[in-house]
Structure 1
């Protein structure tokens, strides 16, 4: 054997294997990209504790002087003209955070020419219905091309639709669900029968899928209102080492041939990542998506970091088959410290994400797992 020729080849093979293993060990947080400021970072004349200063007030949606509104939730929809529509919730800053989210929260529509922002608040999305009441607000484009807004948590789980992303949005109806032999509590959050944290996904097979607060997959073959059949238990149920309570804020998306769920365990400020090949069965744990006290995802290209105290409501934005950005609802202090008419508050931040590399590495990981079975 000619070892002088064989050894270099072995070194190359070893390097390829090492690269593959390194990719397999990466978690979702490793694919967040630095934020490109939409305007110079500022500290003067805006709200917020020093941990979120300086910042780009043109990123996402906020009231920089905190004279009117606090913002929360949100889902972005791109229209046929290339504009970006953010459907979210807001409440008057004269309310504390603890009061605002459930006593004064309303569904709104904002628009931007750039996915990163700035988004201009265009007002209430459906003012004719209960004075615009809404929370856990998200938007999507339906299979038939119409635009839809969903609200839950302080409402029962309603869907509003329009032929135009600018509205007017009219109530289509309330989401229906079928326990299908499972615990009804997987669909509704409380004794009032309300749904919570509802995210609706358009599946590539033409069906609609809901992932709500419980993370249990629910499937509709009869349109966006359902009925949605509960198809399984909580995705983390088979992982007793993970917290089984106080989980919330799931987001769901389909990319790279996989269904993904990321949800938040709020006491530890830790978000967890799961995948499934069919979106119903065999949800596999893929590790910590991000952990507030350990990972800093709100980083600008110059190295400046905004360290938001609470990071919640993650929402994936899929463009051209891959996640391009995540939305987050953030607040600069503890929720109980955000009081009425003060200099604290919340906003929606947009963070870029390398979804192409993420899907490529996930596919390599799935292929390697199949080979090892």
Structure 2
């Protein structure tokens, strides 16, 4: 891979209006795509039923699914549940979310966030929100794990423990989530992730950490005692990283819009070691304002969880979880995973 001289934002092409992946009766989020051994494109995504609120319903009833398309643009058709609920006794037994699919050698490696809780299911018609005990417990139990398979069709081997647990007394004492892995040719991994810490009995703000492993199976070790983006200056979520052959590149959601100039749009940064990051000269990576292939434009209510598909070492498509509405999860009536082609320089 080579370092691009044009910013990602400047290379985004019109998005296909009928592309991506959506499901009737479900909230859909977190699209991550890989070309399978069958030559088709497989999207690993999160879904949860619409009898729950979009947020925070995913914390208790999300499941990772797989959809397929003959082209990267889609539309993608649902094929199967990949990581279903498997019981409260498992660390990921009640919710699987944040899928990120990648491959090393002959093995597909699926990073994801899992959570569990010992409480009752949320039933249709039942009120559910951030102060519900089921939400509070599920949020505190968020951890990062992996599942592996030698086929994109599975079966998937899930681990009985997360790869990145929390650490008391550190910036990731409350939760770990939103895994953004970069697996190198030798099988070693640089993993950027989202964390929160305990502040009394509640959680603090989002922070971005880094961990390393000599092999994707672990063990993983946190690589910096401090967040790699100082929280006093950066308020980021949804990282995605890759290595160009010369350095790491990262895109992430700008929670306040102070860096890229637009609320909840994306920033781009780079690093030689994955620990010390520098914002790019052209920091804007993507916008919530989308140009469609029919010539129209829409400011999306959400545009999050960015994922870039690379083909032959080049970025070809940007995927993102998106929502309609005026902005914010509570105003959305539909969510889906959309795709934006990326022009070559």
Normalised by the length of structure 2, the TM-score is 0.75
Partner of 1:42: none
Deviation at 1:345, TM superposition (A): 1.5
Matched, 1:262 2:243: no
- Equivalent residues in 2 for 1:151-230, closer than 5 Å: 151-152=112-113, 154=115, 155-177=142-164, 184-185=170-171, 188=172, 191=174, 194-213=175-194, 214-230=207-223
Deviation at 1:123, TM superposition (A): 2.5
Deviation at 1:99, TM superposition (A): 3.5
Matched, 1:100 2:57: yes
Deviation at 1:179, TM superposition (A): 9.6
Alignment deviations for residues 16-41 of structure 1 (CA, whole Å, 9 cap, x no partner): xxxxxxx96x5321011123x4xxxx
Deviation at 1:231, TM superposition (A): 4.0
Partner of 1:43: none
Partner of 1:319: 311
Structure with more strand by fraction: 2
Determine if contact 2:253/2:267 at 8 Å carries over to the other structure. yes
Alignment deviations for residues 267-322 of structure 1 (CA, whole Å, 9 cap, x no partner): 42132211123434x422104324646xx3x3233422232111111111121111
Deviation at 1:183, TM superposition (A): 7.2
Alpha carbon RMSD of aligned pairs, Å? 2.8
Ranges of 4+ aligned residues in structure 1 off by more than 6 Å = none
The verdict on how the C-alpha distance between 1:135 and 1:175 changes in structure 2, with shifts beyond 3 A counting, is same
Matched, 1:80 2:37: yes
Structure 1 distance, partners of 2:27, 2:85, is 22
Q: 1:136 aligns with which of 98, 102, 127?
A: 98
Matched, 1:336 2:330: yes
Determine if contact 1:126/1:170 at 8 Å carries over to the other structure. no
Structure 2 distance, partners of 1:148, 1:179, is 22
The verdict on how the C-alpha distance between 1:183 and 1:256 changes in structure 2, with shifts beyond 3 A counting, is farther
Matched, 1:276 2:271: yes
Deviation at 1:205, TM superposition (A): 4.5
Q: How many residues align?
A: 290
Please identify the structure whose Cα radius of gyration is greater.
1
Q: Residue 100 of structure 1: SS of its match in structure 2? A: helix
Moved more, 262-271 or 222-231: 222-231
Matched, 1:310 2:299: no
Q: 1:60 aligns with which of 9, 20, 32?
A: 20
Structure 2 distance, partners of 1:172, 1:144, is 20
Partner of 1:145: 106
Partner of 1:371: none
Alignment deviations for residues 131-162 of structure 1 (CA, whole Å, 9 cap, x no partner): 67211122111x24211222216442221111
Partner of 1:244: 234
Matched, 1:31 2:26: no
Determine if contact 1:217/1:232 at 8 Å carries over to the other structure. no
Q: Which runs of 5+ in 2 are unaligned?
A: 88-92, 116-141, 195-206, 257-262
Determine if contact 2:170/2:225 at 8 Å carries over to the other structure. no
Partner of 1:45: none
Matched, 1:349 2:341: no
Deviation at 1:172, TM superposition (A): 3.1
Normalised by the length of structure 1, the TM-score is 0.70
Determine if contact 2:64/2:83 at 8 Å carries over to the other structure. yes
- Equivalent residues in 2 for 1:2-21, closer than 5 Å: none
The verdict on how the C-alpha distance between 1:70 and 1:291 changes in structure 2, with shifts beyond 3 A counting, is same
Structure with more helix by fraction: 1
Structure 1 distance, partners of 2:186, 2:296, is 43
Structure 2 distance, partners of 1:84, 1:347, is 17
Determine if contact 1:28/1:288 at 8 Å carries over to the other structure. no
Structure 1 distance, partners of 2:169, 2:269, is 21
